[in-house]
Structure 1
Amino acid sequence: MVSVVQLHPQGAAAALEALAEGLGGEERALVGRALEFAESLYAGHELSTGEPVWPHALGLGASLAGIGVDPAARAAGVLFAAPKYLAHGDALAARLGAEVAGLAAGVEKLYQLRVLTRATAAQQTEILRKMVLGMVEDVRVVLIRLASRTQTLRWFAKRASPEREAYARETLDIYAPLANRLGVWQLKWELEDLSFRFLEPEVYKRIARMLDERRQEREHYIAEAIAALRRELAAAGVPGEVSGRPKHIYSICNKMRLKGLGFEQLHDIRALRVIVPEVKDCYAALGVAHNLWRPIEREFDDYISRPKDNLYQSLHTAVLGPGGKTLEVQIRTEGMHRHAELGVAAHWRYKEAGRATRADTAFDDKVAWLRQLLAWRDEVADRGTRAEAARRASFDDTIYAVTPQGKVVDLPAGATPVDFAYALHTDLGHRCRGAKVDGRIVPLDTPLKSGQRVEITVAKTGGPSRDWLNPERGFLKSSRARAKVRHWFNLQEGGREPAPAPRPRLVPAPAPAAPKKRKTGAGGRGVLVVGMDRLLTQMAKCCKPVPPDPIRGFVTRGRGVSIHRADCPSLARLAQADAARVLEAQWGEGVGAYGVDLVVTASDRPGLLRDVGDALAREHINVTAVRTQSREDLAFMRFAFEVTDLSQLRRAIGAVREVHGVIRVARG
């Protein structure tokens, strides 16, 4: 139960006017309840930057209202930190509804994705891609995060902090490109200019000074140009509003650096914007502008017929304006302008009741566009072939879960905590025994969702369960994780522990030259039975031990001592019946050939038997018998051959595993 104390109710009441702009009725009431709840909940709390949580929430909410998001997003923005301070996860839903609570929970998860500033730009961009894809189910979560970062930079602008350069660098690498990709220009410009101010204060001041020195002259010039264009548009019967267009310091600096231009050489220091009712009016207005002023060659862009990747549309032209000075003119419709300023936020429509709806018929297309634009075609360096790019664009088949430390892990859709553990580290997967998802204990076969925080519980020792390989049990979705589990059991069945430390060979492997034929079983030369000498021994056919397998002997009736692997199930049954006949044994120094069986399961195909045989031949394996059978597109092969020791057997198993189509390799 959360105890709510009413503190400074006038603070929430005053903030409501700004945050509920354009809202009425139930929508306004929802934002009001969120403000009242947040004010009391945040009292006395600060963010890691030192900023009090309550003022941060108000600035964040004002930014969201400024870009026109829906009431639920504004309420969730104000309550961005609520899940952190609430003792019970259901308290927020009880107060403000499931939609607001779900958005706030999504924002909290997004906050957990920490980006290390020491990472390379490519690593950071990849983290961003994963972050956005994980949260793209509701874009409003990302908009809230962008508004929050904007408010953090505003806080740093008021007071110096050793952290602000790191935040600024992260913003330019991560958040400003994201705002650009989502088309939220209002936030993009502020994120860029504030970050640039912190990272390059001298350059920022110099450009700001140049802008300020000629401000009056430039404003007078723009006023004359606006009046002239308005007259010509009216004379031509083209409806439209003409205004000056603000310039942003970061974009000015970038353009000067990229094009090697001086401040006065930039075409868009002086800029006009024309807003018209329809697309046909855009081209009519363009004709008027070009008749009024001479266009500059190669400075025209038609983003209406060829929109940018973020669906930005406008006509851009540069002309020699009054007095022969360069002047940029942008022409667009009201709808294009709304999208240019608000981006994806411009496409959310809501009923009076405040429930999200898809009011325009093109909404589905816009969501599809959102998923496509997150592939980062322009701002990310080429990462490979078209096929790889297409694979990265297959968002629906991938989810993104998060470690408690904020690391993003990409997994196939339907992946479980076991898949998650193996994706982090093979040993973590082997020892996985339990999981918490978003703080709650869940079964290991629970399908994960994007954005969930997953914590793995492990045993000190042990290995995976065979049940994990049963597809009907649903423990594993990832083929990589399944392969790691199979590999672990293959190593066990092959007589090899999964630990990487190699054991010393007791018997040297044969030289690459043609091997000499050896007597299988080594008679009594290769095995010493403790306490006995010159005792007849033979290798047990049930487990076929090979040096340096741990071994034990069993006294047979009339056939000497049968040598078994120490973990042989048959030996265990014999010992249970007559323990006195079990003897300790160890490998001697004699060199011999030991018969083993290898069972191979593979996808059936032409040439499979030949390829497996070639793999064994490359390891100088003397194959003595082969049995094969096929069933349901699978091939089952059993090879009998001779090796000198376990090292040679391991090499043979490894070689066979590399053959295309092989699924499982184990000792028979």
Structure 2
Amino acid sequence: MVTVREQLPGPLHELSEETTVEHAAEAQSGLVSWLDRVRDILEGAELKQLEKVAQLTLERELESTVNHRTNTFSTGIGMADILAHLHVDEDTLSAAVLYRSVREGFITLEDIQEHFGEQVLSLVKGTLAMGKLSELIEKNKRLEDHFNNNQREHLSGIYKMLISVTEDVRVVLIKLAERTYALRELATASKERQERVAREILTIYSPLAHRLGIAQLKWELEDLAFRYLAPERYKEIASLLNEKRLEREQYIQFVIDKLKNELSENDIQSEITGRVKHIYSIYRKMKSKNLSFDQLYDIRAVRVLVKNVPDCYHALGIVHQIWRHIPNQFDDYVTNPKANGYRSLHTAVIAENKSLEVQIRTFEMHDEAELGVCSHFNYKEGEKNTDHSFNHRLHSLRAVLEHYQERTETTPHAEDEESNGIDQIQDFENFEKIYVFSRDGDIKELPRGSTVLDFAYHVHTEVGNKCYAARVNQRYVPLTYTLKTGEQVEILTKKDREPNRDWLVNSLGYIKTARARDKLRHWFRQQDRSKNIEVGRELLNKELARLAIHPKSIDLKDYCSHFNFKSGDDILVALVSGDISLHALINQVNRQMHLDQDEPELVLKPALNPRASHTLSAHGILIDGLDNVELHIAQCCQPVHGESIGGYITLNRGVSIHKVACPDYIRMTTQEPERAVEADWEMQPTRGQSVQIVVEAYDRRGLLKDLTQVIFSDQINIRQVNTISEADGIANMKLLIEVKGLAQLSRLLARLEQQPGIISARRLVQGS
């Protein structure tokens, strides 16, 4: 077989040898010839960028003294040569030439960005990512028996996984060109490598070529791969085809001449050619339908190309007038296109006592059938493609198979010609799935954003309930780790492990899927009610203590109507089961502690008299009966927005604002009640309220940085930080921060306690 290297002009295929000055000069000459040929293929395009890319790639490789097993430059040229025949754009050709050189380290991504721009860089990066994922699939996939029907679900997952990392159809084209080139170059490889690559091609890449409608590549990939996987069967079918080749060619020419005359007499302009039946397609049909070679209808075939759709049906009628139609052998893919967009009329007739397949389509349909998505490039130098169909397929390429479904045969490729069994398309713009490997190599589909704990519950409820740790790609990760397509996940379990109530706290990020959340809630609901009441009270008291709120200041009966429960115990049980969250309850406590215009019935104390004069301070506080008075927040209790507050008129500092439950406030207003004034918060805080928190943690490098990042991510301002490191390795950090209310403070403290090495995080008030 003639390889791509042998087809290239000049000595480009010799660059894997020790390169001399003479070789370099000849390589340069060969490169010029190749560029001229590509310009001819693309109808005179200038290809200035491609020329610069090829020159840079050649120069970098010639400068290298590294001895490579394969020549990266000739590989890149070979890939681009394949793509040029598909009439792709110049950016795609450039990325193809650069890809292997980047992978081997001759050229950096920074070089590409500097010299060739973001488009080419994006294509190269996408192809590199797809290549890495292919390697991972190769390590994990179970493709030992390509024809094993039990593998269909696994194969479907592989296809989805490959495409899910791809944002641009051109990346898939480059990868297909790379695999096609690799397959063409397998002649001297070991038998093990030949079979491994061929199996990968038949299982993954020829279906992708079909999905993009690129028949040119699909047939070549299938036939070459089949030759390496089943050489004896391949030779047998090839021999059967060759035995009567001369007789078959004479027969086809007779059919062409006769049909051409009939169409001309009916004023139908046409182009008719004999159609070569591909060996792998013959094998599939013989195997799936249990037919002998001589029983196949379509060994002898012609293809008729006409100008428009009406001529297609007119030509079909003429074919059926000339020759007898074989019953049940007609398919109208013009009216009902295949999943990959393929359109044509297929019929089978008896012509001169022999079966004959006739395909009829327009010239445009033929270009689409041969080139698929590439037929929409309409390459013109310097012009943007405006073809709506192309733009749709390019920018929302992620047209992936939802189901890899058997149609009429029993193998993964058990479909009629030019169909791969993919029967549902999903627009990549709405693509919200990821695909990951289990420890055993199974592929699991999860919603985008899923964590390792979501994965555990996806595998099995008990795997999630007993989970205590996880590894991703052999590295330990927290249970909140967000998974990405292509990663391998291992869940570690213990028999005595039980779910953690924190897993249901949204802000902590343990689980993102409804499936995992429902399973977790179900587990908590099954626990003993008295135990759940006890656990719920512990959860609430812990949160109130963290917020420096005395538990006796909260009466759960006040919240039953809001949450539609009959008793406070019901609320505690709901906290444990996850039917309501701690943050939802704290939010309601926050609202209950001050006037809410939308829900006046929830107010615990009378609203300020709207007719009375009052002061709106910089703190967002309303003072009843006083104008233009200085206010300050009492440091003894440091109330925050949402807590019940009162004012105390001092001698020199205006009005000090306390929590009404503050011991100092109670003492002072009891002794001098005339100094007490009513105070309340604005409906919504106009600025943050200063709160002091204390964080206790095991001292480590980067601790303060990690904590401040968590705080800033919640748009909380830090006004002051004071850190004391103890001799026992414990760090105590006091931070003065500005929060908008109890709910925000509650979320922050919970998130801080989830950071590595944090012992506790709580609100600090005087005396605590």
Q: TM-score, normalised by structure 1?
A: 0.62
Q: Is the 8 A contact 1:181 1:374 kept in 2?
A: no
Q: Which amino acid aligns with 1:98?
A: E
Q: CA 1:155 to 1:433, structure 2 compared with 1: closer, same or farther past 3 Å?
A: closer
Name the structure 2 match of 1:300: 330
Q: 1:378 to 1:286 in 2, by over 3 A?
A: same
> Structure 2 matches for 1:537-552, cutoff 5 A?
none
Deviations 1:236-274 (A, max 9, x none): 111111111111111111112222222222221111111
**Residue aligning to 2:355:** 326
| Number of residue pairs matched by the alignment | 508
Aligned to 1:118: 142
For the structure 1 residues 12 and 330, does the alpha-carbon distance in structure 2 shift closer, same or farther, using more than 3 Å as the test? same
Identify which of 49, 52, 68 aligns with 2:71. Answer: 52
Distance, in Å, in 2 between the alignment partners of 1:640 and 1:444 is 28
1:472-621 paired onto structure 2 within 5 Å: 477-479=512-514
Which residue does 2:762 correspond to in 1?
Answer: none
Distance 1:636 1:63 in 2: 74
Q: Which residue of 2 aligns with 1:317?
A: 347
Whether 1:364 aligns to 2:384 is no
1:89 to 2:109 alignment: yes
- Alignment partner, residue 120 of structure 2: 100
Structure 2 residue identity aligned to 1:308 = K
- State whether residues 319 and 327 of structure 1, in contact with CA within 8 Å, keep that contact through their aligned partners in structure 2: yes
| CA shift for structure 1 position 203 | 0.9
2:569 aligned residue = 638
- Seen in structure 2, the aligned counterparts of structure 1 residues 37 and 401 have a Cα distance that, compared at 3 Å, is farther
Work out whether residues 186 and 342 of structure 1, in 8 Å CA contact, stay in contact via their aligned partners in 2.
yes
Residue among 12, 26, 31 paired with 1:12:
31
Deviation at 1:204, TM superposition (A): 0.5
User: 1:478/1:45 Cα in 2 relative to 1: closer, same or farther (>3 Å)?
Assistant: farther
2:161–2:435 Cα contact (<8 Å) kept: no
Deviation at 1:354, TM superposition (A): 6.0
Q: Is residue 51 of structure 2 the alignment partner of residue 32 of structure 1?
A: yes
**SS at 1:310 equivalent:** coil
Structure 2's unaligned 5+ residue stretches are: 1-19, 144-149, 413-421, 493-497, 547-555, 583-768
Question: Structure 2: how far apart are the matches of 1:448 and 1:73?
Answer: 30
Contact preservation (8 Å) 2:333, 2:343: yes
Equivalence for 2:288: 258
CA deviations on 1:151-189 (whole Å, 9 max, x unpaired) are: 111111344442111221222121112211221111110
Which structure 2 residues correspond to residues 189-204 of structure 1 after superposition, within 5 A? 189-204=219-234
| Mapped partners of 1:262, 1:341: distance in 2 | 28
Q: Are residues 1:285 and 2:315 paired?
A: yes
Preserved contact between residue 45 and residue 380 of structure 2 (Cα < 8 Å): no
* Conserved? CA contact 1:318–1:327, under 8 Å: yes
- Contact kept, 8 Å, 2:398 with 2:426, in 1: the verdict is no
Task: Quote how far apart the aligned CAs of 1:132 are.
Answer: 4.0
Query: 1:315 Cα shift?
Result: 0.8
**Hey, what does 2:381 align to over in structure 1?**
352
Aligned: 1:184 with 2:214: yes
Instruction: Report the Cα distance in structure 1 between the residues aligned to 2:503 and 2:97, rounded to whole angstroms.
Output: 44
Q: What is the distance in 2 between the residues matched to 1:430 and 1:467?
A: 13
Residues 243 and 22 from structure 1, CA distance in 2 versus in 1: closer, same or farther, beyond 3 angstroms? same
Deviates more, 1:120-129 or 1:253-262: 120-129
Distance 1:74 1:126 in 2: 29
Structure 2 residue aligned with 1:412: 447
CA distance in 2, matches of 1:224, 1:542: 92
2:399 match: secondary structure: helix
Q: Look up the equivalent residue of 2:227 and give its one-letter code.
A: R
Q: Which residue of 1 aligns with 2:91?
A: 72
Q: Of 254, 265, 285, which aligns to 1:235? A: 265
| Distance in structure 1 (CA, Å) of the matches to 2:46 and 2:451 | 39
Checking the alignment, whether the CA contact within 8 Å between 1:486 and 1:664 is kept in structure 2 is: no
Partner Cα distance (1:81, 1:409) in 2: 31
Deviates most, 81-90 or 159-168: 81-90
CA distance, structure 2, for counterparts of residue 358 and residue 63 of structure 1: 24
Paired with 1:246 and 1:127, the residues of 2 have a C-alpha distance of 33
Matches of 1:392 and 1:636, distance apart in 2: 51
Question: Displacement of 1:32 after TM fit?
Answer: 1.6
Q: Secondary structure at the match of 1:638?
A: helix
Deviations 1:347-403 (A, max 9, x none): 234553265x442367437876972656445579999xxxxx999958525143779
| Conserved? CA contact 1:242–1:272, under 8 Å | yes
Counterparts of 2:382 and 2:466 in 1: how far apart (Å)?
A: 48
- In 2, distance between residues paired with 1:133 and 1:312? 20
AA paired with 1:152? Answer: A
Corresponding position of 2:366: 337
Q: CA deviation at 1:28?
A: 0.7
The 1:295–1:206 alpha-carbon spacing in structure 2 relative to 1, beyond 3 Å, is same
**SS of 1:97's equivalent?**
helix
Aligned to 1:171: 201
* Distance in 1 between residues matched to 2:88 and 2:466, nearest whole Å: 42
2-structure distance, mates of 1:282, 1:310:
20
Match of 2:434 among 390, 396, 400: 400
User: Could you tell me which residue of structure 1 aligns to residue 177 of structure 2?
Assistant: 147
Q: For residue 234 of structure 1, report the CA deviation from its aligned partner.
A: 0.8
Give the direction of change, closer, same or farther, for the CA distance of 1:287–1:52 in structure 2 (3 Å limit): same
Instruction: Give the distance between the partners of 2:522 and 2:32, measured in 1 at CA.
Output: 63
* Aligned-partner Cα distance in 2 for 1:211–1:98: 49
CA distance in 2, matches of 1:542, 1:325: 86
Equivalent position amino acid for 1:412 in 2: P
- Per-residue deviation at 1:66? 1.3
Three-state SS of the structure 2 residue aligned to 1:274 is strand
1:131 match: secondary structure: helix
Between the aligned partners of 1:303 and 1:66, the Cα distance in structure 2 is 26
- The answer on whether the counterparts of 2:435 and 2:485 sit within 8 Å (CA) in structure 1 is yes
In the alignment, is the contact (CA less than 8 A) between 1:44 and 1:52 conserved in 2?
no
C-alpha displacement of 1:199: 1.0
What is the identity, as a one-letter code, of the residue corresponding to 1:225? Answer: V
Render the CA deviation track for 1:32-74: whole Å, top value 9, x for unaligned. 2222233344567788xx5433332222211111122111111
Letter in 1 for 2:275: R
